[in-house]
Each structure stands twice: as C-alpha cells, then as structure tokens.
Amino acid sequence: MSAPLNTLTFCLGGGRGEIDACKEQFIERLKSAVAIPSVSVEACHRADVVRMVHFVQKELEKLGAKVELHESGEQVMPDGTRLELPPIVFATLGQDKSKKTLLVYGHLDVQPAHREDGWKTEPFELVQKDNKLFGRGSTDDKAPVIGWINAIETLQKLKIRIPVNIKFCFEAMEESGSEGLEEALRARKDTFLKNVDFTCISDNYWLGKNKPTITYGLRGVCYYYMEITAVHQDLHSGVFGGVVYEPMADVAWMMSQLSDVNGNIKIDGLLDLVRPLTDEEHKHYETIEFDQEDFRRGLNAPKLQKEKKADILMHLWRYPSLSLHGIEGAFSGAGAKTVIPAKVIGKFSIRIVPDMLPAKVDKLVLHHLNKLWHERGSPNHFRAFSHHSGDYWLSDFKHPHYQCGVRATKTVYNVEPDFIREGGSIPITLTFEELTGNNVMLLPMGASDDMAHSINEKINIRNYIEGTKLLGAYLLELGSL
C-alpha cells in the first residue's frame, strides 16, 4: 500500500511543518490576490480581471510551469458594447511520460462586491479576524487557486518529488457563465487535454462547518418557458378588465398545476425516470454528518418539506425538484400598477438526477404543459419550450482517484471525509469528464458558511492552511495510481 508511504513522505518530508511555517506568507499571497478586484461581470473591472490573470501567470511561471494565455475574443455586454474577454490560463508543469497527468481547474474572477451592500470590511482587502480571512474571492475561488501554488511551491522547496505532471486550467469568466471556456477546451481535446488522467476541481464547499467532504455528484437542470399572449400590448385594467382573457390568470393556473404544496411534482411519468434507491445508498445518507435543525434555522424557514436528515439530503441531491422562478412581462415593481399584462412568460426549472436525461424530461414536461393548456381552455396563444438543460453528474467515490482524496484528507484532518453530492450544477465538471474521458473529483477547501457570492465572504484560516496541506498531500497520493 502506497498510502502510508505518501503520508509519511508528506509528514516526515516536512510538508506539514513547512506549510505551517509559511502561514503568514501564504496569507500575504492570498491578500495580494484578493486585492485585485477581478469582477468579471462589471465592465469597469475588466482590466483588473486581466491583472489577476497575469498575477497567476507569474506565480505559475515561478513554479516552472509553461503558461499559455488563450485569448477568447470579444464579449457582447447586455448594453451592446463589446469587451475583450480575459485570457484563459492553460499551464503545464512537468512532461514526464512515465508519470500520470492531473488537470487542475479553478477560476480567477469574483462576484461583485461593494462596501455599501453590507460588508463589515473593505471587500477587496483581506482582513483577518477571529481566525477567518474576510474578502471577496477569499473562498471563491482564490484560496483554492493560491492553495495549489502554495502546495507545489512547498513540495519543490523541500525537494519532495511530485509524482504527477500537472496541467492547470484557470479561467476568469466563471462568474459570467464561463464565456469562451468550453470552446477553448473543445479545441484542446487532442492536445492540452489529451493525456489527462484525472481532474480535480476545488471550487465548492464542505456540507458543514467542520467536517471535510468530497463531492461525487451534481444535479442537472431543465429550464422551461411558458409563453402566453392575449393582446398586442399591455392594457389598463380599469378600461379593459372584464372582457379580456388575461394571460396572468392563465399562467398562475398553469404554474399552480406543476407541483403540490409539499413539492411533489405532478408531471406524469417524471418520477419513473428516477433511479431507484437502494438500501445501501439510503444508509449512506444516514452516515453523513448533517444537522437538519441547524440547516433549517440557517434559512430561517418556518418548516422544511422533509424532516429526517436522509430525506432532506436525498431531496436536495438525488431526487428532482421543481422551482417556479418568476414571470417575465408581468408587473414586478414596488407599488401598485393597474396593468393587464399582454404577454407573460412563466419560468420554472426542474433539477434532474440519475437517470433523467434532458431529452426525455423535455418530452414529458412539454407534453404535460400542452395537456394542461388544453384543460385550461383559454383562447390565448400558448407556447411552451425548453430554454436550456444540463445533465446531472454522478461519479463513483470508490474510484481509486477518490481514494487519494480520502487518504489526503485523513492525513491532514485525521478524519474520513463524508462523500456528498450537491443540488446545483457545475457544468464544467461534465465537460472535463467528457473531454478527458477520465475521472473527475470535486475536492472542496472552504466551509459551508463561507458566504460565497454574498456579503462578508470569508475562508477560515484553518481551511486555507490545512486545505493547502490537503492539496499537497493529494498530489503525493496520486503517485499510487
């Protein structure tokens, strides 16, 4: 067994102690990264996004990596102006044909942040308080990206042999729909991606605040529009109310017919697509560390649709859910407007799970919507269609690659990680799996309360420093494969 050996290499080789010794230096490096307001969604910060790309380029080059900056062309902003997309970093460290190759993905851009949104500190200044590091991008996704650099730097410094070649794909448009990334990856299927043996993405979070987790599944999504048109323009409800078949009444009724109060989806045949639950899987959910009452309180919800721990986790991860998002075309502002909307688009989506294929889901959903519309008997114009969809992702946590993650976690945190899924989608996971044809693992660094995308985003110093060790130990564990 190579596990003890790699663990020993890491610990006795001094990785653990060295990383602890470099703690302040690593915090400084993260501070420099957070100080660059690389907000991809705000045009005024585009130069900062590019600055962040160059910052990471230099750090990778210091490690000896060969860095290619891929120019992705132009982006058309919502107001029609055109903006150069930031380059994508494709880097290679090691080309030893006797070694396997790891692909690491991360992103360099961040969500917007303004002090007046409710930040207690300057968002683009990394502030240390109560063993936490506050700042925009601290956990999403700068600490993991810098963590890889810290870990590799440490191993190099201690002259510990890294048993894999490493490729890096760091994009800077993740918070803006990863524009340009998929094309750039597809174009590199037979070059940059050709010999990738496993992919590791550190861009998600533990299930809780204390216990490490590894993620092996994600739900997919099917998003639908119901478009109902009655008249050629919005009408005054005083002048026309009483004789017009109002699209809002139609759409409210249609939306009310998709699920019941407890969230049970009422679309014929849909649940038949869901992979049956085995006893073993059910038991697995019961072993996961999760405090359902803490979860409910965190949301400030009066009650949840499920009460037991395993039921909650399964309904978040392994069963489909249907959410009504809103209505385009209806009055949505504050105050009172007496309008009869002429045309409305009801929007909802279904989170899909194994074995629900989007094409099959689309067929059932659209058939159901058209049947409902017939039942409604409104003379208005109706059109239902799929807006977009994305597959679910499910890996096998018994795969040797995952076992490397497990051993690295045990080395660093002295505990077996929980294997979890997530309810949302990370489409790039599927893209890497498809293009490399090999295993992908999501290895989170941050904790569940890190507040990514929200105000007062932070990463615990523990998660950052032990997380750096985790990435280093994981690199060494890969030598066993």
- Of 141, 153, 174, 250, the active-site residue reads 174
Q: Is 293 annotated as belonging to a binding site?
A: no
- Interface residue with a copy of itself, options 95, 210, 287, 332 (CB under 8 A): 332
- Which element (helix H / strand E) includes 339? strand 339-340
The SS3 of residue 229 is: strand
β-pair type (100-107, 164-171): parallel
> Nearest distance from residue 443's CB to a copy of itself, in Å?
18
Do 376 and 230 meet the contact criterion of CB atoms below 8 Å apart? no
Tell whether omega for the bond before 396 is within 30 degrees of 0, i.e. cis.
Answer: no
Interactions with a copy of itself, residue window 201-230 (CB under 8 A): 219, 221, 223, 230
Binding residues for a copy of itself, total number by CB under 8 A: 76
Q: Is 236 among the annotated ligand-binding positions?
A: yes
**Which one, of 466, 462, 443, 446, lies nearest residue 454 by Cα?**
446
275 lies in the site for a copy of itself, by CB under 8 A? no
Q: 10 Å Cβ neighbour count for 285? A: 20
* CA dist., res. 464 & res. 318, Å (int): 30
Q: What is residue 92's three-state secondary structure?
A: strand
Q: Angle at the Cα of 107 (from 50 to 195), degrees rounded to 5?
A: 110
One residue of 338, 385, 400, 437 binding a copy of itself per CB under 8 A:
338
Applying CB under 8 A, does 339 fall inside the site for a copy of itself?
yes
Annotated catalytic, 457? no
CB of 151 to a copy of itself, least distance (A): 28
Q: Are 215 and 199 in contact (CB under 8 A)?
A: no
* Residue among 230 and 471 whose Cβ is closer to a copy of itself: 230
Which residue in 153, 418, 422, 477 binds a copy of itself (CB under 8 A)?
A: 422
Tell me which DSSP letter residue 355 carries: T
Task: Find the shortest distance in angstroms from Cβ 281 to a copy of itself.
Answer: 16
Residue whose C-alpha is closest to residue 250's, from 269, 233, 231: 231
Among residues 223 and 479, whose Cβ is nearest to a copy of itself?
A: 223
**Cα 114-120-126 angle, rounded to 5 deg:** 80
Among 32, 121, 323, 480, binds a copy of itself (CB under 8 A): 323
Residue 203 counted as an annotated binding residue: yes
Annotated binding-site residue? 453: yes
Burial 140-171, CB ≥16 within 10 A → b, else e = bbbbbbbbbbbbbbbbeebebebbbbbbbbbb
Catalytic residue among 48, 59, 109, 422: 109
State the nearest-atom distance from the C-beta of 337 to a copy of itself, in Å: 6
359-378 binders of a copy of itself (CB under 8 A): 376-378
**Residue nearer to a copy of itself on the CB measure, 94 or 253:** 253
Using the rule CB under 8 A, is 327 a contact of a copy of itself? yes
Min dist CB 115 to a copy of itself, Å, is 19
Q: Are strands 88-93 and 66-70 parallel, antiparallel or unpaired?
A: antiparallel
Tokens of 395: 């890996």
* Pairing state between β 220-229 and 381-390: antiparallel
| Annotated binding-site residue? 140 | yes
Q: Judged by CB under 8 A, does residue 281 bind a copy of itself?
A: no
Binding to a copy of itself in span 244-273, by CB under 8 A = 244-246, 248-250, 252-253, 255-256, 259, 261-263
Q: Does 341 sit near a copy of itself (CB under 8 A)?
A: yes
From candidates 80, 118, 334, 414, binder to a copy of itself by CB under 8 A: 334
Confirm whether 466 is a catalytic residue.
no
Site string for a copy of itself, 36-55 (x = CB under 8 A): --------------------
> What's the Rg (C-alpha) of the chain?
25
237 near a copy of itself (CB under 8 A): yes
What angle, rounded to 10 degrees, do the helices at 23-34 and 143-157 form? Answer: 140
The number of C-alpha atoms within 13 Å of 192 and in the hemisphere containing its C-beta is 23
Q: Which one among 49, 133, 207, 322 touches a copy of itself, defined by CB under 8 A?
A: 322
* Tokens representing residue 183 in the block: 């094309």
CB of 304 to a copy of itself, least distance (A): 5
Residue 360 one-letter amino acid: K
164, 97 in Cβ contact below 8 A?
A: no
* Cβ-based nearer residue to a copy of itself, 2 or 323: 323
Strand partners, 222: 350, 389
Asked whether residue 315 is marked as a ligand-binding residue, the answer is no
Q: Is 190 annotated as a binding residue?
A: no
CA distance 257 to 361: 17
Least Cα distance to 383 among 373, 395, 393 occurs for: 373
**Stretch touching a copy of itself by CB under 8 A, among 64-72, 146-154, 240-248, 403-411:** 240-248
Min CB(241)–a copy of itself separation in Å: 4
Q: How far is the CB of 228 from a copy of itself (least distance, A)?
A: 11
Q: Which stretch binds a copy of itself (CB under 8 A): 27-35, 125-133, 315-323, 399-407?
A: 315-323
Cβ–Cβ < 8 Å for 127, 444: no
Which residues are catalytically annotated? Answer: 109, 174
Known binding-site residue numbers for Mn(2+): 107, 140, 175, 203, 453
Known binding-site residue numbers for substrate: 203, 236, 338, 351, 425, 453
